[in-house]
Chain A
Amino acid sequence: MSRKLLIILISFLLIAGIGGFLAYRMVFQDAPLSVENEKADFVISAAALVSAFETNESQAMKRYGGKIIEVHGEIDEITIKETSTTIVLKSPEDLFGVLCTFDSSVANAGSFRKGSAITVKGICNGYLTDVALNKCSLIK
């Protein structure tokens, strides 16, 4: 009896395990990367993020590259295209800011105003003229 129960239990766990793994793959890995429902790895101001890359780019890349960043700052530039909306958050560096790309499906993109304060969550890709974040979602 106990052996039979054990077999049933093991097969149940095995099925649940495989099912869970497949579900995980289907939901998280076969789907596009999305951070909307994920917790941010770092919460930081646009100024501090730019300064980290400006001071030591490779070190900042190790720390922030590929990570989910929640960043707050003031909107300096807005570019609206068919497939995406891009904003640049100001930093004291003046020339460099934080570039945030939103998919066109993002609601409120039309309500972005230059000079207004904003908090955005996205994946940090590194540093070109600006620190670049994509897959962005609006926090507030």
Chain B
Amino acid sequence: METANAIEIRDLDVDYGSRRILSDINIDIRQGEIMVIMGGSGSGKSTLLRCILGLKKPSAGHIYMLGTDICHTSNKKLYGLREQIGVAFQGGALFTSMTVAENIQLPLREHTNLDENTIQIMTRIKLDMVNMLPYENLMPSELSGGMKKRAALARAIIMDPKLLFFDEPSAGLDPITSAELDELIVMLKESMKMTIVVVTHELESVFAIADRIAILGEGQLVQVGTPEEIKSSTDERVTGLLNRTPRKNNVDKDVHIERLTRDKE
């Protein structure tokens, strides 16, 4: 069953041990849009991405990906769904024992019966899309941070996925490389009609690529809206994030002293 939404997140709670990381999250991600999940450090955005990818089981709630509830489905169905998605991890997560081209070819070799020639051609097409064609025979350790991210992106799109996830595309990159990646993400959406989910906290990137933005704060969904709606928001947590206002530590003086001096448990 396919709906107008590529992903629907309903009443999601996530805990690590006794610590609640995400609470009552409800987000719809529409087909063909770029949804940016944004928030400060520790806001739970990476945990949310891991839940959407099925790498972390939530404590409660549902995540419907392309109509299937991935929280309550069999491993076989989950793997079937994963063949329709692409993921570019923050550090690239390229296999260090393989060349760039071998990394990109891996999903094709595992999931298709294409002949060697076709695999080579498809690899070069994707490498060309991310401007990495001259580096196909390099090992991941020989690549810069931006090149690793682009190679990871090529691997993520090699199977022409319906859904593309990108974790922190701009983190640790210089402004020019970061802008190039932003352009690439928008180009992918337009040329391949993908639904793209980007997790980031880089403000410039967010407003350059987002169709809609979901803002998380301290494990809760603060607001979902278009970039204009987010910019005009009056919510303190949103304006604080956009204006880079340092968080105030409104802790009582006595409580603060007790925290500093109490015995370690």
- The finding on whether chains A and B are genuine partners in a shared complex, rather than unrelated, reads no
Interface residues of B (CB under 8 A from A): none
